[in-house]
Amino acid sequence: MPMIRAAPFDYDFPTGRLALIVIDMQRDFIEPGGFGESLGNDVSRLQAIVPALQDLMAACRAAGVPIIHTRECHRPDLSDCPPAKRDRGGPALRIGDTGPMGRILIAGEPGAEIISALAPEPGEVVIDKPGKGAFYATPFADTLTRLGVTHLLMTGVTTEVCVQTTMREANDRGFECLLVEDCTESYFPEFKAATLEMVRAQGGIVGWTAMSAQIFETLEKS
């Protein structure tokens, strides 16, 4: 089987069973003026992973590895957004409020769209999810089954929230997950570092981590 040099040990995957998962690379999280910045975050940290993720997506497309994108967003009537999620804390803007990019995290609004630099290509699956994890109230699991996927390359934002939640959900369902270190990011560097440690602790209790360069090595040989 193909093998990626990873931590805590090498990551093997069956040919034709690997997919790249790109979590929530949306304008509201990545671009100035969006929801992420309204919460007081430095969005430039998230923008920094875009070139590496572009390269990884290109390599996966060239190798025939399917790419699945997710977007965190809600129905316009907020019927799928629990009040506990919308009302928590004291942000300047809440989910459903009107911001510079339209209504915050509402499906179909400009801010909920994936940034143009990482736009899905025709035929690539895009999953809209109302929660932090990609499995809850979505067709994500059915999509993976339909594609015959058993191994996941995890990327996107934020590392400790939507990426880690999806990775743990996938782990519980028997998927083998590798988190790509330079293709994921957090507004808080210490949170990303802690997540990477948690993922690969105790012999890979949640999964593996590796840099994109190590994945390129394997995809080029496949």
Residues present in the chain in total:
222
Tell me which of 24, 73, 177, 183 is the catalytic residue: 24
Is 24 catalytic? The answer is yes
Element (H, E) at 171: helix 164-172
| Adjacent-strand bridge partners of 166 | none
Tell me which of 60, 162, 177, 183 is the catalytic residue: 162
80 burial type by CB count under 10 A (0-12 exposed, 13-18 middle, 19+ buried): middle
State both tokens at 25: 């690379």
Is 177 catalytic? The answer is no
Is 182 catalytic? The answer is no
**Exposure of 95 in the CB half-sphere (CA atoms within 13 A):** 24
| Adjacent-strand bridge partners of 18 | 151
Tell me which of 60, 81, 128, 129 is the catalytic residue: 129
Active site residues: 24, 129, 162
